Amino acid sequence: MPAEAGRYEFRVVIDERNIFAETNENNNALEASLTTRQSGLPDLHPIVISLLNSTRGSYRELTLRTGNRYYIDVATNNIGTLEAGRHTNWILWMQPGESQWALLNTSNVVITRAGNQGHNIIPFTASRAGLYRFEAWIDFWNNITESNENNNVVRLNITAS
């Protein structure tokens, strides 16, 4: 199989020098073409969860202020060699004083081309002081067969006062 995707032309000739006497010397060649697709798999990888103070600017402080509205930006790359089809991303969070993860957001992604990056920006309000924990799960239901199924989660812990 060729290493590169594309169209390949083949030609096979039998008795090229006409050594054997045949009733038809004009049917000794066969030509065909083969088109191959790119090999490999997609690999969806959340690269970072960023904290934003608006949908346009990043927030660099490590402490939130209670009562303020913030945004979580989950940046995801497809670092594989093929595009990824329809999949679902989940963003979970645990608020201060809680011991169970809660669903903050889900998003249905139709397609992510190889080499492309996508962002999922979700608003939230820091309602009480303490540690907030966030997890982003890319392709939560494992609908996409990936070259690496073990790099689909990214986490962020941040404190509100």
2 confidence band (pLDDT: 50, 70, 90): low
Q: Are residues 121 and 88 in the same domain?
A: yes
What is the CB neighbour count within 10 angstroms for residue 132?
A: 23
Q: Give the DSSP per-residue string, 97-138.
A: T--S-EEEEEEEE--B-TT-EEEEEEEEE--SSEEEEEEEET
Same domain, 27 and 50: no
Q: Is residue 121 part of a domain?
A: yes
pLDDT recorded at residue 56: 60
Residue 98: give its domain's CATH number: 2.60.40.10
pLDDT score, position 149:
92
**Pair 130, 99 in one domain:** yes
User: Is 87:139 a contact under the CB 8 Å cutoff?
Assistant: yes
Give the number of domains in the chain: 2
Q: What angle do CA 111, 120, 59 make, to 5 degrees?
A: 150
Same domain, 94 and 22: no
50 falls in which pLDDT band (50, 70, 90)? confident
Does the pLDDT value for residue 25 go beyond 60? Answer: yes
* Claim to verify: residue 11 and residue 82 sit in the same structural domain: no
Q: Print the domain residue range for 125.
A: 44-160
pTM of the model: 0.69
Query: Do 29 and 72 share a domain, yes or no?
Result: no
Compute the average pLDDT of residues 73-93. Answer: 89
User: Could you say which DSSP state residue 112 is in?
Assistant: B
Alpha helices in the chain (DSSP H): none
On whether both 122 and 146 belong to a single domain, the answer is yes
Whole-number Å distance between alpha carbons of 70 and 128: 13
Statement to judge: residues 69 and 124 lie in one domain: yes
Residue 48 lies in a domain: yes
Q: How far apart are CA 83 and CA 43, in angstroms?
A: 9
- The average confidence (pLDDT) of the chain is 85
Residue 83 belongs to some domain of the structure: yes
User: Do residues 23 and 53 share a domain?
Assistant: no
Q: Is 1 within the bounds of a domain?
A: no
